[in-house]
Chains A and B, each alone.
Chain A
């Protein structure tokens, strides 16, 4: 059953998955070229002093990319299910409903985490050829909330999308935006590393929200 559910999600999302993977994979040579160019034109000593003195984060262009990826992935997974309410067919399968939804969410979140994780690690180790680990560590500490925001955006997009009542959908959207904004509140490299437990909490909470939307969908809530 798990393989069948994953198969369905794979068929539905494989091209989007490829596109997102290409964007993240493509960001690695982009950042490396950017770094080597800066070394070449500004000189290593000067550029290092800028990184340390002005708290420059060279991968900051990545800020909203995981968020967009999570959002698009969540919508692309659920919008086809909500078109003409074909989610009913999914829930009618002889398989526990909550487990079906959980497996769909695991496919989506697992895929995103894999893309984020693999491309993040490759970027980390590639950058470590050129820069000390302390600097790269600081950059990735700052980048961690962006990736977590992407994961939260995925769950929240699913939650909003499944909600059957438009008024509640709007309220959920506002709440989702407020939660997502928390991930982008810190500006400096180090200020957010202590907030990570809060972000993990938000993600775990937002992972539960879609189950409530499914419950409302099943109840046929109309207003």
Chain B
């Protein structure tokens, strides 16, 4: 399947601080990819690189087959961009901003925009600058949907949204993308609601890409294991066992491997596995399990 986004060997620094080294990933048509990471791991940096607003130290990205540094007008019209904080031209009201954008896109579809606007309790003359963050998010989303782009790039779409607006955003987006076979690349540091939205998950840690897998594979295979801690022991992370945390009464760790393999790994260290149990995780739990709490 054709890659809508393809990034090869992206390395970037801010000053002397390494953000990533040789980051590689691609997003296929029709997929919703969620880029997750803690604050400061470089999620917005990737968005900026993808849109040509930041020249990486090395490497290249291609959007719809074109180099990010020189996107043609046609390609730009196929990419819907949501900036962090749902930034829009705040001096417009909702009628004016629709009128403005509609002149740039030949396939402009007003219906999804007005459909969303009708859900907002704002007057048509209310300026965007006087709207709440949730209301602005709907304006920004409505404009992107009206643009009818092939690729939607959404930077931290959940930022500042209360649960209601977050759910509204996710539901609307999911319904739209499923119906139209669009590709979505989104970032977020709030992971609730995401497991029902994203097909693929990429998790960034400081300086590296920690993981890039289908979301269902993470939810199906990544487990939290608990071991009652009657006998004190020291357990370190390795390929099988990840993010070990010792509590007063038990030890917790995470693993992509099945129970049998985890037991083998523990037994090879002479640890009693009789009390070993596991539990399935939400995507948020999995994220914590992979990146740690700190």
Q: Is B248 an interface residue (CB 8 A)?
A: no
A1 to B84, CA, bound (A): 26
Chain A positions within 8 Å of B85 at CB level: 84
Name the one of A94, A217, A222 contacting B76, with C-beta atoms under 8 angstroms: A94
Contacts of B112 in A (CB 8 A): none
* Structural contact, B89 and A222, CB atoms closer than 8 A: no
Please determine whether A11 and B48 come into contact, CB atoms closer than 8 angstroms: no
A95 and B104 contact, CB distance less than 8 A: yes
A91 neighbours in B (Cβ, 8 Å): 53
**CB atoms of A88 and B83 under 8 A apart:** yes
CB of B114 closer than 8 Å to a CB of A: no
Do B14 and A222 touch (CB < 8 A)?
yes
Q: Is the CB of B89 within 8 A of A218?
A: no
Main secondary structure of the interface of B (DSSP, over half): loop
Contact with B along A186-223 (1 / 0, CB 8 A): 00000000000000000000000000000001111011
- Residues in B neighbouring A64, C-beta threshold 8 A: none
In the complex formed, the residue of A with least CB distance to B93 is: A11
Residue B96, interface by CB 8 Å: yes
Size category of the binding interface on chain B: 20 to 34
Stretch at the interface among A2-10, A117-125, A172-180: A2-10
Q: Do residues B91 and A11 form an inter-chain contact, with CB atoms below 8 A?
A: yes
Contacts of B11 in A (CB 8 A): none
List CB contacts (< 8 Å) of A54-110 with chain B: 80, 83-86, 88-89, 91-96
Q: How far is the CA of A218 from the CA of B52 in the complex (A)?
A: 7
Question: How many residues on chain A are close to B (CB under 8 Å)?
Answer: 26
| Alpha-carbon distance A4/B25, docked complex (angstroms) | 37
Within 8 A of A (CB), among B211-265: none
Check B52 against A89 for contact (C-beta < 8 Å). Answer: no
Question: What CA separation (Å) do A83 and B99 show in the bound complex?
Answer: 22
With A7-B100, A11-B96 given, is the CB distance from A88 to B105 under 8 Å?
Answer: no
Q: Is the CB of A7 within 8 A of B83?
A: no
Interface residues in chain B, defined as those with a beta carbon under 8 Å from any beta carbon in chain A: 14-15, 48, 51-55, 73-74, 76-77, 79, 81, 83-85, 87-92, 96, 99-100, 103-105
When A and B form their complex, which 3 residue pairs have the shortest distance between CB atoms, in order from nearest? A220-B54, A94-B77, A4-B103
Known contacts A4-B100, A12-B89, A91-B53; 18 additional CB pairs below 8 A are A1-B103, A1-B104, A3-B103, A4-B103, A7-B96, A7-B100, A80-B91, A84-B87, A86-B83, A86-B87, A86-B89, A89-B81, A89-B88, A89-B89, A92-B51, A92-B79, A94-B74, A220-B55
List A residues at the B interface (Cβ < 8 Å): 1, 3-4, 7-8, 11-12, 80, 83-86, 88-89, 91-96, 217-220, 222-223
